[in-house]
């Protein structure tokens, strides 16, 4: 599709050619067309960047960054000296208007987030909207994103981003997501992960396949896989992890619909919880009933939270 015509970029005259360095070799960046260039950056490993992204960052008149300290590390690594400007969730209409004027004057601005693809759970959307409304070309430069398969189906998936902070609102949102016929992709703060997994077990059912991916592409990358119930137990026992977390939840197995609540089992668990910790109560009831300890533990987590809420 043909982009609308924009004013010619001012001749930089004595301005030195823009360059970047990769694999020990210096390359000269081509002049960019005026407008907004939305550039995907590495999630954590600085090598996860495209040549096109580097050329765009080097050739832009300025880079608009969510956190200039984070983006400066990337630019320095590749020998890029393009000026950095802060553009984040607190940037107001006046800031956007200044950016629009610069692009209307023929400048090329690059928009980046701290990691991954801009406009996915970051504040760049309003600037893109303003640029489109002003008739300014917006060019996507694709690259890394934290949405990963994690061994679950990818023919259909729904990206939710961050769930609400408060437990009631979080459970309500999970209930709303329960009927989506595809894999769910969530971002989550590490300190809330154990509670979120427990909420997911209660609202979505513990039999769904799931994965918790931590520190993707970084030195301490780990991916834990299992059912929602088993992962809830794991992180309840281990506590909150460190680093950035992505939670991927598959659809409920068709052959194993969620079982109805077992009133007798719940009564046993509640009685044990009145005298013991969750871990000890689960072990006791598992011994009494012959059921799997992890299954009992997952149910005990739900019942304990309901009791605390009451």
Domain ranges of the chain: 19-141, 157-249, 263-309
Token couple for 86: 């802060």
| Chain mean pLDDT for the chain | 84
pLDDT digits (tens, 9 = 90+) for 3-32: 444 444 444 444 556 889 988 888 988 889
Quote the distance between the C-alpha of residue 213 and its chain's center: 10
Q: What is the pLDDT of residue 148?
A: 59
User: How much of the chain, in percent, has pLDDT values that exceed 90?
Assistant: 38
pLDDT digits (tens, 9 = 90+) for 198-216: 999 988 988 899 999 888 8
Q: If 0-12 CB within 10 Å is exposed, 13-18 middle and 19+ buried, where does residue 167 land?
A: middle
Q: Which CATH superfamily is domain 19-141 in?
A: Tetrapyrrole methylase, N-terminal domain (3.40.1010.10)
Q: Identify the CATH assignment for 157-249 out of 3.30.950.10, 3.40.1650.10, 3.90.1660.10, 3.30.1330.60.
A: 3.30.950.10
Q: Are strands 183-188 and 245-249 parallel, antiparallel or unpaired?
A: antiparallel
CA nearest to 21, candidates 63, 61, 51, 48? 51
Q: What is the pLDDT of residue 260?
A: 45
Tell me the pLDDT band of 121, cut-offs 50, 70 and 90: low
Tell me the pLDDT band of 114, cut-offs 50, 70 and 90: confident
Identical topology for domains 19-141 and 157-249: no
Residue 102 reports pLDDT greater than 90: yes
Tell me the pLDDT band of 154, cut-offs 50, 70 and 90: low
Contacts of 116-121 spanning 24+ positions with Cβ under 8 A: 116/40, 116/41, 116/43, 116/143, 116/144, 116/145, 116/146, 117/40, 117/142, 117/143, 117/144, 117/145, 118/38, 118/39, 118/40, 119/38, 120/145, 120/147, 120/159, 120/161, 121/161, 121/162, 121/187
Task: Tell me the C-alpha distance between 296 and 298, whole Å.
Answer: 5
Tell me the pLDDT band of 134, cut-offs 50, 70 and 90: very high
Q: What is the pLDDT of residue 111?
A: 95
Token couple for 110: 């690059």
Provide the whole-model pTM. Answer: 0.67
Q: Where are the alpha helices (DSSP H) in 189-241?
A: 193-204, 228-238
Tell me the pLDDT band of 150, cut-offs 50, 70 and 90: low
pLDDT digits (tens, 9 = 90+) for 256-310: 443 445 778 888 889 888 888 888 888 888 888 878 777 788 888 878 877 766 6
Count other C-beta atoms under 10 Å from residue 226's C-beta: 15
């Amino acid at each position: 599709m043909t982009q609308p015509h924009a004013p010619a970029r001012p001749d930089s005259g004595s301005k030195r050619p823009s360059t970047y360095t990769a694999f020990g070799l210096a390359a000269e960046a081509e002049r960019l067309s005026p407008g907004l260039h939305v550039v995907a950056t590495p999630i954590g490993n600085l090598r996860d960047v495209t040549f096109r992204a580097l050329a765009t960052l080097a050739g832009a008149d300025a880079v608009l960054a969510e956190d200039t300290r984070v983006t400066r590390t990337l630019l320095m690594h590749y020998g890029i000296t393009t000026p950095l400007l802060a553009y984040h969730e607190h940037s107001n209409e006046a800031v956007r208007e200044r950016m629009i004027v610069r692009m209307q004057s023929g400048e090329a601005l690059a928009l980046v987030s701290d990691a991954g693809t801009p406009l996915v759970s970051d504040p760049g959307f309003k600037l893109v909207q303003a640029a489109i409304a002003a008739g300014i070309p917006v060019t996507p430069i694709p690259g890394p994103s934290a949405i990963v398969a994690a061994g679950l189906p990818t023919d259909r998936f729904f990206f939710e981003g961050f769930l609400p902070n408060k437990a009631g609102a979080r459970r309500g949102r999970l209930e709303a997501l329960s009927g989506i016929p595809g894999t769910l992709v969530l971002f989550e703060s590490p300190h809330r992960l154990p509670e979120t997994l427990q909420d997911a077990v209660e609202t979505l059912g513990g039999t769904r396949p799931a994965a918790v991916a931590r520190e993707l592409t970084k030195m301490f990358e780990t991916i834990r896989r299992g059912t929602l119930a088993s992962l809830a137990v794991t992180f309840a026992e281990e506590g909150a992890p460190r680093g950035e977390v992505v939670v991927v939840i598959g659809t409920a197995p068709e052959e194993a619909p969620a079982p109805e609540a077992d009133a007798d089992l719940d009564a046993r668990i509640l009685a044990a919880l009145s005298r013991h910790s969750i871990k000890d109560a689960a072990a006791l009831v598992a011994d009494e009933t012959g059921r799997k300890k992890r299954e009992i533990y997952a149910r005990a987590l739900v019942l304990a939270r309901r009791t605390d809420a009451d």
